[in-house]
Chains A and B, each alone.
Chain A
Amino acid sequence: MIHLSTLLTLLLAGAISLVMFSVKYEVQDLEDELSRLNRSIIAERQAIHVLKAEWSHLNNPERLRSLALRYLGLKPVEAKQFGIFSGLPKPSSLPEKRKFSSRQPSKMDPRAGGRRAGEPATRAAQAKPRNPKGKGERRPDRIGNSRARNNVGRSRQLAEGKVRQ
């Protein structure tokens, strides 16, 4: 009887120490991982901090302005380019067939600055051969330049009255 209980106790103690042993090492591994993660969080934060500064530097208004001037051909907004809703013509004052319709969304009023459907597509089709070597050969660093060329082409079209504004 006594022998059995002693044996059981010893077994229990052995089992418990084994469990303790494995748990201890598990915890040690977890703590290692935790500190590794903490270190990497700090490193990431550091990197984010530096990147934020770089982002701010890259968004410098003067830099953006010169880039926009080179590649986009955009200009500051003029007062006359603003419109308000009350300044638009009333739908009732428009000719009957040019009214907006959900069935024929293509028939937009040209006076409102819209284009008829089909037109942009055909123009795009016409525009493609103008730039034959564009597709395969274009190097990444030339994207901006080719865009600028397209703009030049577009403004020439504008000047010749080919493009409806």
Chain B
Amino acid sequence: MNNNHASQARLLGRLFENRGHPRGIRQQTMEKRRNRLLAIGVVITFAFLVIAGRLIDLTIPGKGAEPLLASASPLRPAVADRVGIVDSNGIIMATSLPTASLYADPVDVPDAGEAADKLVAVLPALNRAEMMVKLKSTARFVWIRRNLTPKQKYQVNRLGLPGFYFQRGERRVYPHGRMAAHVLGFTDTDGLGIAGIEKYFDNVLRNGKASLALSLDLRIQSLLHQELSLAMTEFKALGAAGTVLDVQTGEVLAMVSLPDFDPNVPGSGDKDGAFNRMTKGVYEMGSTFKLFTTAMALDSGTVTLSDGYDASKPLRVARYTISDFHAKNRWLSVPEILVYSSNIGAAKMALDVGASTQKRYLDRLWLLRPAAIELPEVGAPLIPSPWRQINTITIAYGHGIAVTPLQLASAVAALVNGGVYRPATLLKQRRGLPPEGKRVLKAETSRQMRELMRLVVRSGTGRKADAVGYIVGGKTGTAEKVAGGGYRNKAIISSFVGAFPINAPRYVVLALLDEPKGNASTSFYATGGWVAAPVVKRVVRRMAPLLGLAPATGEDAPQPGNRRLAVAGDGSRAARLAAF
């Protein structure tokens, strides 16, 4: 550039110089022209050089030029518009499959009658009369049938009808049908989440890149579903619910509510089917609440394991009489109150604890607030207001307060895991560090509660939950259902909530049956200990090997001559025996 300017300047200089010299006009003119030509030539040469440089720059491979290796044009990253849902082991629980939907442009259909005849022959589900109405309309777009199978699409294509077209669409498919229906929920025909996870994570599922991983374990879900279905049939119950929680992370490994529905065909089946008893249904839980009463009494220092209460005669408060179902009519120690599920003892213990402390502990255990679970169907607990003395008494044994089964399971998990509350979650958590929790009980109280829960299963009302080899601890619950302002004696909610292995709990298992009827095999009892505890036992026995839990050795090992310990009248002795 500079060189060029310099040469131009020199050139001009020479032109001016030449003007003064006495030469021939012709010669001068010739020189002038030659110089002009030279200047133009230089400029043109420069321009060509620039072009050549640019050409070299573009054709020599490198930065800004064609890449040496051609790369494939970017593919659509996702096969489906809505990502799938998988369980914790990556098994597909919901996915979107491409389908073809048939539509017609009636103006382009030359012979509506012939077309309708042919289509009805291929797609028997179509109604010929309706088809005629559609095909004779003046609209330019009518749906004929959505979501054809590949075979149907082929058959329709083979008819070669003019005026009929396919629209590529998607259909939500749940390969495991009704197994986790209430957790997954379902979508409408346009792929919009309507219930369950599909609704709660609708945005994530529509805009996500990878499948949504749930905490559910399909194997556990399946066996819980099976065991609850069997129990529901056996005891002619209206419904059943159950869950398996990881006590350290709050992950829900399984959640079943019966009756259920097939999310592949939502709206079919039982009209009660869409109701999620685990998270939406609130129930008075009955005796399982004695666990919380005992825990708060021990934690606040109101009682120790060697204390006890007189349960020899029914407790009369205002116009209510509180009596025991498994009445012992004597003084009962704190462990015995739990083991024999004494209402009187629990009520007296709650009175000693006091209403405000009771309320505080229940609130910490998240029993007074709606559960924080990733589902839209969450029921708010029913809490007495105002909280009178009689409420303190009845809540001690689980009446007068209605919570969802999931809240109960989460609270029991906090009771046994060392006293840290973690809300239940349906999303797979990262391995390793347990999620941040909130301490609600002293670790020592949690240890005592584990001993007591073991005692209930070993010697108390929960004996039928004792899965040999997997040390189960838990509590039975039997509550009468509220109807028309009073309690119905024959309509009960029977439940069992257990944790195992109770010396170092990993999982909480809850089973609940709605209005079970006793039969000959249960001596016509339908209480939690008779109908729900065996479900938990079978679930524990089947799920433990799947989760890699080896059976316990030592005192509780599956060997003949395993001692059954009786609970003596002396509370401290009972507590000592419970220690393992």
Contacts and interface: CB of A to CB of B under 8 A. Distances in A.
Nearest to A31: B70
A154 interface: no
Contacts of B73: 34-35, 38
Given A52-B95, A76-B542, A61 B222 contact: yes
Contacts of B176: 56-57, 60-61
A45 B79 contact: yes
Interface in B61-76: 70, 72-73, 75-76
B173 A34 contact: no
B558 A79 contact: yes
A53 B92 CA distance: 7
Nearest to A49: B79
B175 A79 contact: no
Interface in A26-66: 30, 34-35, 37-38, 41-42, 45-46, 49-50, 52-57, 59-62, 65
Contacts of B468: 79-80
13 contacts: A34-B72, A38-B75, A46-B79, A49-B97, A52-B95, A53-B175, A56-B91, A56-B92, A56-B93, A59-B91, A78-B541, A80-B551, A80-B558
Nearest to B553: A84
B98 interface: yes
B226 interface: yes
Contact of B551 (A49, A61, A79): A79
B70 A34 contact: yes
A115 B468 CA distance: 30
A80 B545 CA distance: 11
A107 B222 CA distance: 43
B76 A42 contact: yes
Nearest to A48: B79
Contacts of A79: 467-470, 541, 544, 551, 558
Nearest to A76: B542
A61 B218 contact: yes
A55 B97 CA distance: 13
B75 A41 contact: yes
Pick from B72, B92, B550 the residue with the most CB of A within 10 Å: B92
B116 to A, nearest CB: 31
Nearest to A80: B558
Given A46-B98, A61-B218, A80-B558, A56 B175 contact: yes
A49 B99 CA distance: 13
Contact of A80 (B72, B219, B469, B542): B469
Interface in B88-119: 91-93, 95, 97-98
Interface of B: 70, 72-73, 75-76, 79-80, 91-93, 95, 97-98, 173, 175-177, 179, 218-219, 222-223, 226, 467-470, 541-542, 544-545, 550-551, 553, 558
A38 B177 CA distance: 34
Nearest to B150: A50
A77 interface: yes
Contacts of B223: 61
Given A62-B222, A76-B542, A80-B558, A52 B92 contact: yes
A53 B97 contact: yes
The 10 closest A-B pairs by CB, nearest first: A79-B469, A61-B222, A57-B175, A79-B551, A56-B92, A56-B175, A77-B545, A49-B79, A80-B558, A79-B558
A38 B75 CA distance: 7
B79 A61 contact: no
A153 to B, nearest CB: 28
A60 B264 CA distance: 15
Interface residues of A, number: 30
Interface of A: 30, 34-35, 37-38, 41-42, 45-46, 49-50, 52-57, 59-62, 65, 76-80, 82, 84, 87
A42 B79 CA distance: 8
A76 to B, nearest CB: 5
A131 to B, nearest CB: 33
Contacts of B219: 61
Given A42-B75, A56-B95, A62-B179, 7 more contacts: A34-B70, A50-B97, A52-B92, A56-B91, A60-B177, A79-B467, A82-B469
Contacts of A77: 545
Contacts of A42: 75-76
Contacts of A59: 91
B270 to A, nearest CB: 19
B551 A82 contact: yes
A76 B73 CA distance: 51
B173 A53 contact: yes
Contacts of B70: 30, 34
Contacts of B79: 45-46, 49
Given A42-B75, A77-B545, A49 B80 contact: yes
B371 to A, nearest CB: 27
Contact of B545 (A34, A57, A76): A76
Contacts of B80: 49
B280 to A, nearest CB: 25
Contacts of A34: 70, 72-73
Contacts of B545: 76-77, 82
A38 B226 CA distance: 45
A60 B421 CA distance: 34
Contacts of A56: 91-93, 95, 175-176
A40 to B, nearest CB: 11
Contact of B226 (A41, A57, A62, A87): A62
Nearest to B220: A61
A53 B75 contact: no
Contacts of B76: 42
A65 to B, nearest CB: 8
Nearest to A42: B75
A57 B218 CA distance: 12
A11 to B, nearest CB: 21
B224 to A, nearest CB: 11
A81 to B, nearest CB: 9
B205 to A, nearest CB: 15
A47 B190 CA distance: 22
A49 B95 contact: yes
Contacts of B542: 76
Contacts of B91: 56, 59
Contacts of A54: 175
A54 B545 CA distance: 27
B175 A82 contact: no
Nearest to A59: B91
Nearest to A30: B70
